[in-house]
Structure 1
Amino acid sequence: MAAEEKLVVIISTEGQVALPSAIGKRRKWGAGTRLLVEDTPEGVLLKPAPAFTTTRPEDVFGSLPHRGRPKTLEEMDARSVRTALKP
């Protein structure tokens, strides 16, 4: 499909639009792909939806149980260095 080629789609009575298969194949969007729909001044933008929602540290802080004394920053840093050096 040429870049300048214009494709026309029709909105169904339910408000649905079928994406041309050439676009779906090029983007590797198969059946069941979740897309975000964004209304922009230039038109409608479709983007793949992320597999997971964005999580901030404060959303999950303290959610895992822990027994024992808290680790110091130095202990955590030392552990991460040892883990990174393992083959």
Structure 2
Amino acid sequence: MPTTSLSSKGQVIIPKPLRALHNWHPGQKLQVIDMEDGILLKAAQPFAETTLEQVAACLPYQGKTKTLAEMEEAIRQGAEEADRDRG
């Protein structure tokens, strides 16, 4: 089993055969996970960029379509309720 040392800067060299086995290259982002018996290093999985439309598409509206007048009325009612709550 390969061993390594912790430098005074807190750096650890991961042996080359292990880096090659996991396809880790310089600059690779790693997750550092605290385990009961040590530390686990895993390649960080970057999230793909998403747009607001993609996020919104995950939460489809399931009610009936509202008109602009209905939305404005709901906003007015909400504002009135907030005013009453503030006293």
TM-score, normalised to structure 2's length? Answer: 0.54
Partner in structure 1 of residue 3 of structure 2: 8
SS of residue matched to 1:46: strand
Question: How far apart in 1 are the matches of 2:17 and 2:27?
Answer: 16
Q: CA deviation at 1:44?
A: 0.6
Letter of the structure 2 residue corresponding to residue 22 of structure 1? P
Count of matched residue positions in the alignment of Structure 1 and Structure 2: 56
Where does structure 1 differ by over 4 angstroms across 4 or more consecutive aligned residues? none
**Which position in structure 2 is the counterpart of 1:19?**
14
Secondary structure of 1:37 counterpart = strand
Q: Which has the larger radius of gyration?
A: 2
Alpha-carbon RMSD across the aligned residues, in angstroms, is 3.1
How far off its partner does 1:40 sit? 0.3
Matches within 5 A, 1:52-67: 52=47, 60-61=55-56
Stretches of structure 2 that go unaligned for 5 or more consecutive residues are 63-87
Which residue pairs with 2:39 in the alignment? 44
